[in-house]
């Protein structure tokens, strides 16, 4: 034993040396990792800077940053690269690829429990669905993002999410819900004193109140919004507020006031060059003049509306052509990136294939080891023996691996592990074969003994006993009287026992509330009744046959369709009882 302990101690010393060598290299590795992450972050920043001006190059940079992040195992870089790729794809209308990039980023963020990035992913996915007019899914992802921002107590982002959700509910004509979210957004913006946020929250609230025909509330919020926009000197905000004033007065039927508000909105829209807003203002103004019966002025503004609409349609077509060209360039650039990436990954994939093959072989060996340990139960008489044999085999393999690793100096953890793996691969099959052969030999011996016991039982003819036994059980009047010769066995069944016996030459089974211990105590003095197993008491006079294999013996009782397990020491006791009854 001391000799083995010294060898194991030698192995531990060698492993300690290896760990110190790895620790010495760790600091240098961290420095290289830091440099790589800085380069990746710089590449991502450059990609963001040219997102609108050159999306093709922006995608190339993001893909390179993603590759570098994977090589450095830099999860933050992977998430940011994928988010940036999703933005590029969304910009060119490739919503499927954009969503794929966002979902990849989401999986990484969730695996790292990076809640800030998870929220960003949810919000961007919501934007994708909103752009496709899939408001239901957009709301779902906005809500997921909102819950995270609430846990983080990030008030500016909470307000933005609330406003977005309110706008979506308004698009779905769920006005009460929209109003709730707008008001919640307003409360937060007022708390953090963000005038821009206050302006847009008031604008949203006034629009919903107008649609609900709650004009007093709408007017109050519009006046507050107008005051805020003037304080900020926000021309775009003034355009929206005066347009909303026009809608408000139009809804009340006060078309003269609506005309004045819409004309003010038109002036500010021209200053801010908000052409889409200006186009709608022209149409609303034409509607007001028509309702006032001033058809000539209505016609003039309707004509202005149509002219601007045609202009914007032409611009939109040109924009779509430009987007198609950009998308073509992006996809071409992506194909080039993918081609180069495939070339760089060839060696890595070959190494992965070889590593998977080795792992598969190692898994196979491990399965053989497990099966060998299971088969030890058929050879070893008890659990302690199994543990001793297993530990002895493991110690032998570890020692042999250490000896083999001495031939590959200098000693290292990698060399020792490689040696251990090779030793296991070559040694385990022989161990398994040895256990299998031993099992066959023992099985043959057990079968021979079982046949011998069966012949002895068949030669014994115990005298028929007319003795009547009475068993009492829990419960009122719970008792049974039966000839002892008719009892077959008693079986444990949770809080009950099952009594098997002959009644008019037919096997009958009855359940009684009792324990095996109570039954055994009542049967004391009846040598025929023996407890052969923790769950069974048998009548040895009714044993028909003994069967067995390397795992143990089983008894076949007359009239029963199942066999009963016995302990390893039982067969000798059974023979003694049978001889005593003969």
Q: What is the pLDDT of residues 220-254, one digit of tens each?
A: 999 999 999 999 999 989 999 999 999 999 999 99
Does residue 405 lie in a domain region? yes
Q: 120 and 208: one domain?
A: yes
Per-residue model confidence (pLDDT) at position 568: 72
Does residue 16 lie in a domain region? no
CA distance 76 to 163: 28
Tell me, what CATH number does 552's domain have? 2.40.50.1020
Q: Please state the pTM of the whole predicted model.
A: 0.47
Q: 440 and 371: one domain?
A: yes
Q: 358 and 280: one domain?
A: no
Q: 166 and 183: one domain?
A: yes
Does residue 476 lie in a domain region? yes
Q: Of 401 and 89, which is predicted with more confidence?
A: 89
Q: 444 and 350: one domain?
A: yes
Q: What is the pLDDT of residues 302-326, one digit of tens each?
A: 999 999 888 876 654 454 444 545 5
Q: Of 358 and 521, which is predicted with more confidence?
A: 521
**Per-residue pLDDT at 5 exceeds 60:** no
Q: Are 536 and 565 in contact (CB under 8 A)?
A: yes
Q: Are 513 and 480 in contact (CB under 8 A)?
A: no
In this prediction, residue 183 has a pLDDT band, given cuts at 50, 70 and 90, of very high
Q: 452 and 467: one domain?
A: no
Residue where a domain terminates, one of 182, 213, 244: 213
Does residue 164 lie in a domain region? yes
Q: 475 and 420: one domain?
A: no
Q: Region 121-143: what's the mean pLDDT? A: 88
**Per-residue pLDDT at 156 exceeds 70:** yes
Residue where a domain terminates, one of 156, 179, 213: 213
Does residue 49 lie in a domain region? no
Q: For residue 282, give its domain range.
A: 234-317
Indicate the pairing of strand 552-557 with strand 529-533. Answer: unpaired
In this prediction, residue 37 has a pLDDT band, given cuts at 50, 70 and 90, of confident
Helix axis angle, 195-211 relative to 175-192, nearest 10°? 160
Q: 128 and 196: one domain?
A: yes
With tokens 């008030």, the residue in question is: 155
In this prediction, residue 108 has a pLDDT band, given cuts at 50, 70 and 90, of very high
From the CB of residue 493, how many other CB atoms can be counted at a distance below 10 Å?
Answer: 12
Does residue 361 lie in a domain region? yes
Does residue 559 lie in a domain region? yes
H or E element, residue 507: strand 506-513
Q: 448 and 471: one domain?
A: no
Q: What is the pLDDT of residues 362-382, one digit of tens each?
A: 677 677 667 666 665 555 555
What's the domain count of the chain? 4
């Amino acid at each position: 034993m001391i000799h083995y302990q010294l060898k194991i101690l030698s192995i531990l010393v060698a492993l300690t040396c290896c760990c110190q060598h790895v620790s010495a290299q760790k600091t240098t590795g961290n420095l290289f990792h830091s440099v790589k992450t800085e380069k990746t972050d710089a590449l991502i920043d450059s990609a963001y800077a040219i997102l609108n001006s050159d999306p093709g190059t922006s995608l190339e940079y993001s893909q390179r940053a993603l590759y570098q992040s994977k090589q450095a195992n830099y999860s933050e870089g992977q998430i940011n690269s994928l988010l940036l790729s999703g933005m590029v794809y969304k910009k060119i209308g490739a919503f499927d690829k954009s969503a794929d990039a966002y979902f990849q980023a989401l999986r990484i963020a969730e695996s790292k429990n990076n809640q800030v990035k998870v929220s960003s992913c949810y919000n961007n996915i919501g934007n994708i669905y909103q752009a496709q007019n899939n408001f239901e899914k957009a709301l779902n992802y906005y809500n997921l993002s909102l819950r995270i921002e609430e846990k983080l107590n990030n008030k500016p982002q909470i307000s933005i999410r609330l406003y977005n959700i309110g706008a979506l509910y308004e698009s779905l004509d769920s006005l009460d819900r929209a109003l709730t979210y707008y008001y919640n957004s307003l409360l937060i913006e007022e708390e953090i004193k963000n005038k821009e946020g206050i302006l847009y929250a008031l604008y949203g609230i006034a629009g919903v109140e107008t649609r609900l025909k709650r004009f007093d509330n709408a007017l109050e919020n519009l006046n507050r919004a107008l005051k805020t926009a003037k304080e900020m000197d926000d021309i775009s905000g003034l355009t929206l507020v005066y347009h909303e004033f026009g809608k408000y007065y139009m809804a009340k039927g006060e078309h003269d006031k609506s005309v004045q508000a819409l004309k003010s909105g038109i002036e500010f829209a021209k200053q801010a060059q908000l052409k889409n807003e200006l186009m709608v203002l022209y149409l609303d103004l034409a509607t007001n003049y028509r309702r006032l019966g001033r058809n000539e002025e209505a016609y003039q503004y309707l004509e202005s509306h149509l002219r601007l609409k045609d202009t914007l349609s032409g611009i939109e077509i040109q924009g779509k052509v430009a987007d198609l060209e950009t998308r073509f360039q992006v996809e071409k650039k992506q194909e080039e990136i993918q081609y180069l990436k495939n070339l760089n990954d060839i060696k890595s994939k070959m190494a992965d294939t070889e590593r998977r093959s080795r792992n598969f072989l190692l898994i196979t060996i491990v399965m053989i080891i497990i099966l060998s340990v299971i088969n030890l139960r058929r050879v070893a008489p008890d659990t302690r023996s199994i543990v001793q044999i297993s530990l002895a085999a493991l110690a032998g393999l570890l020692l042999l691996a250490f000896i083999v690793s001495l031939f590959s100096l200098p000693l290292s953890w990698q060399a020792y592990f490689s040696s251990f793996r090779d030793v296991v691969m070559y040694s385990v099959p022989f161990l398994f074969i040895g256990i299998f052969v031993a099992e066959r030999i023992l099985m043959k011996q057990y079968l021979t003994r079982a046949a011998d016991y069966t012949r002895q039982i068949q030669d014994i003819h115990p005298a028929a006993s007319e003795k009547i036994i009475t068993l009492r059980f829990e419960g009122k009047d719970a008792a049974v009287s039966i000839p002892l010769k008719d009892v077959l066995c008693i079986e444990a069944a949770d809080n009950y026992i099952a009594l098997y016996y002959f009644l008019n030459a037919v096997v009958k089974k009855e359940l009684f509330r009792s324990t095996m211990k109570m039954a055994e105590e009542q049967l004391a003095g009846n040598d025929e009744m023996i407890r052969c197993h923790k769950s069974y008491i048998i009548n040895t006079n009714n044993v028909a046959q003994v069967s067995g294999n390397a795992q143990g013996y089983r008894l076949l009782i007359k009239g029963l369709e199942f066999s009963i397990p016995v302990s390893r020491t039982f067969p000798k006791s059974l023979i003694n009882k049978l001889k005593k009854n003969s």
